[in-house]
Amino acid sequence: MADRYLSFTGTAPGRFLTRRLGLPQPAPLRRWSPERPHLEGGLLHLTAGESDLDLAPVLARTGLGTDDVSGRPAAVVLDASGIRDVEGLAGVHAALHPVVRSVTASGRVVVLGAPLDAADHHQAAAQQALEGFTRSLGKEIGRGRTVNLVRLTDAAAAESTLRFLLSPRSAYVSGQVIEVGAPGPAAPHDRDHPLAGRTALVTGAARGIGEAVAETLARDGAKVVVLDVPQAEQDARRVAERLGGLALPLDVTAADAGARIADALPDGLDVLVHNAGVTRDRRLVNMPAERWTQVLEVNLASVLRTTDALLRAGTLRRGGRIVATASIAGIAGNAGQTNYGASKAGVVGLVRSLAPRALAEHGVTVNAVAPGFIETRMTAAVPLFIREAGRRMNSLAQGGLPADVAETTAWLAHPASAAVNGQVVRVCGQSLLGA
């Protein structure tokens, strides 16, 4: 459903009226397209404090010019990884205060920090301060611009993350803190088709967000397996045929779902995306047991069972990626969704616990995306005023698109994202609640 308020605020009368009334003024977001794959403008690289990061080679591969940034930069990268005390934080203000207003609409600000040093509480305090700074700047910067914090120790390990955050692909990701670990083995890849030669399975992929994820992974070169319930087999086959993939009609709640997936993929699997999910909303006092059970079974129990089965069977190859779908409702909670919130918070727990073991034992990373208000057929059916509140209650003052979740999933599935593990990335436009 079209966002008529967003369209109205783009007109002269709309700008005048919303400004006078103090209403949100969302800016149209620049998203990725084959014709415009990069932000348009230069990249300004700043440093606060001393840094050992060798960023120049990485930033040169973002598609943004780093030589001539006179005028209005499309992106600013502030390296604050060397700050170790409160006094050093003055450098953050000194670096960004003069330039933040000049960043173009739909531009990017990325702050680089270091992991917190458990042996140095002054460093830990200063580096944690960057998180509050980043989230606050994201809520005030406006004009479709985003602000994110990346904690890292190795610039090369963060290349896929920086390329994502400094591109139109991350249009609805803001106010996030992403930790990048030690670099994994080098992953040779075609930059235009990084998933070439890889197989990706997406559950709940016959429509909506799952279909968008399947499309994006196929665009990036993957052979996609479109899994959905038997009742949606016709839609699943339509999507699979269009993408040159394979349809797999299967109920993921079946006890043998993992074994059946393994049998259908004897050559193995590289990317597993847990997208299938249901809602059965009702306040707890009015919620019958079957509504609770169905949501927990589809959204959480099936994810746990199939993940365990595919890892145990060795179906997920080394270098593989698991991307689960959490939700802002599992982070901040939502009235009428105790079942849904519980299931999606459970996904977060799964990611945080399994990620280090899956990497150590199987060479597989485990991450999650946590969507906020995304424009789908489901949200189009929400009553008008609730829908409008969902759209406006984030720093970008608008709903996201299925493509926003898909692009984030594709970044986490990227062969060069081996150093991104155990992360829950909110695709919510920086929701004003819980993010």
Structural contact between residues 108 and 64, judged by C-beta atoms closer than 8 angstroms: no
Same-domain check for residues 407 and 302? yes
Same-domain check for residues 168 and 261? no
Q: Phi and psi (nearest 5°) for 312? A: -65, -35
Is residue 266 over pLDDT 70?
Answer: yes
Same-domain check for residues 242 and 339? yes
Q: Would you say residue 185 lies in a domain?
A: no
Residue that is last in its domain, among 135, 151, 179? 179
Structural contact between residues 294 and 338, judged by C-beta atoms closer than 8 angstroms: no
Same-domain check for residues 56 and 107? yes
With vertex at residue 402, the alpha carbon angle to CA 32 and CA 377, rounded to the nearest 5 degrees, is: 140
Is residue 300 over pLDDT 60?
Answer: yes
Residue that is last in its domain, among 179, 212, 242? 179
The H or E element spanning position 362 is helix 338-362
Same-domain check for residues 171 and 235? no
Same-domain check for residues 136 and 174? yes
Nearest-CA neighbor of 402 among 226, 212, 147, 203? 212
Q: Would you say residue 152 lies in a domain?
A: yes
Confidence of residue 419 (pLDDT cuts 50, 70, 90): very high
Nearest-CA neighbor of 150 among 142, 160, 136? 160
Q: How far apart are CA 76 and CA 133, in angstroms?
A: 15
| Mean pLDDT for the chain overall | 94
Structural contact between residues 374 and 402, judged by C-beta atoms closer than 8 angstroms: yes
Q: Would you say residue 98 lies in a domain?
A: yes
Q: Would you say residue 186 lies in a domain?
A: no
Same-domain check for residues 204 and 339? yes
Residue that is last in its domain, among 179, 213, 238? 179
Q: How far apart are CA 212 and CA 206, in angstroms?
A: 9
pLDDT for res 10? 87
Same-domain check for residues 300 and 173? no
Q: Would you say residue 237 lies in a domain?
A: yes
Q: Would you say residue 206 lies in a domain?
A: yes
Same-domain check for residues 292 and 154? no
Q: How far apart are CA 296 and CA 279, in angstroms?
A: 10
Query: b vs e for 303-329, b when ≥16 Cβ sit within 10 Å of the residue's Cβ?
Result: bebbbebbbebebbbebbbbbbbbbbb
Q: How far apart are CA 98 and CA 87, in angstroms?
A: 19
Q: How far apart are CA 151 and CA 235, in angstroms?
A: 41
Nearest-CA neighbor of 290 among 335, 252, 339? 339
How do strand 269-274 and strand 199-203 relate by DSSP bridges? Answer: parallel
In DSSP terms, 180 is beta-bridged to none
Structural contact between residues 175 and 111, judged by C-beta atoms closer than 8 angstroms: no
Assign 221 to helix, strand or coil: coil
The H or E element spanning position 290 is helix 289-296
Number of independent structural domains in the chain: 2
Is residue 384 over pLDDT 80?
Answer: no
Is residue 315 over pLDDT 70?
Answer: yes
- Sign of the C-alpha dihedral, residues 161, 390, 325, 354? positive
pLDDT for res 172? 98
Q: How far apart are CA 337 and CA 234, in angstroms?
A: 30
Owning domain of residue 156: 24-179
* Section 427-434 average pLDDT: 89
Give catalytic residue positions. Answer: 340
Q: Would you say residue 290 lies in a domain?
A: yes
Same-domain check for residues 209 and 292? yes
Is residue 4 over pLDDT 90?
Answer: no
pTM for the full predicted model: 0.96
Confidence of residue 289 (pLDDT cuts 50, 70, 90): very high
pLDDT for res 280? 95
Q: How far apart are CA 319 and CA 121, in angstroms?
A: 35
Confidence of residue 390 (pLDDT cuts 50, 70, 90): confident
CATH number where 118 lies: 3.40.50.720
pLDDT for res 182? 87
Mean pLDDT comparison of 74-78, 331-335, 378-382, highest-scoring range = 74-78
* Section 379-391 average pLDDT: 79
Is residue 145 over pLDDT 60?
Answer: yes
pLDDT for res 191? 82
- CB count in 10 Å sphere of residue 143: 14
Nearest-CA neighbor of 170 among 414, 390, 4, 3? 414
Same-domain check for residues 137 and 233? no
Share of residues in the chain with pLDDT > 90 (%) = 85
Same-domain check for residues 152 and 260? no
Strand segments, DSSP code E, in 278-315 are none
Q: 161, exposed or middle or buried, with CB in 10 Å at 0-12, 13-18, 19+? A: buried
pLDDT for res 291? 96
Q: 192, exposed or middle or buried, with CB in 10 Å at 0-12, 13-18, 19+? A: exposed
* Section 280-289 average pLDDT: 96
Q: Would you say residue 5 lies in a domain?
A: no
Assign 150 to helix, strand or coil: strand
Confidence of residue 51 (pLDDT cuts 50, 70, 90): very high
* Section 265-274 average pLDDT: 98
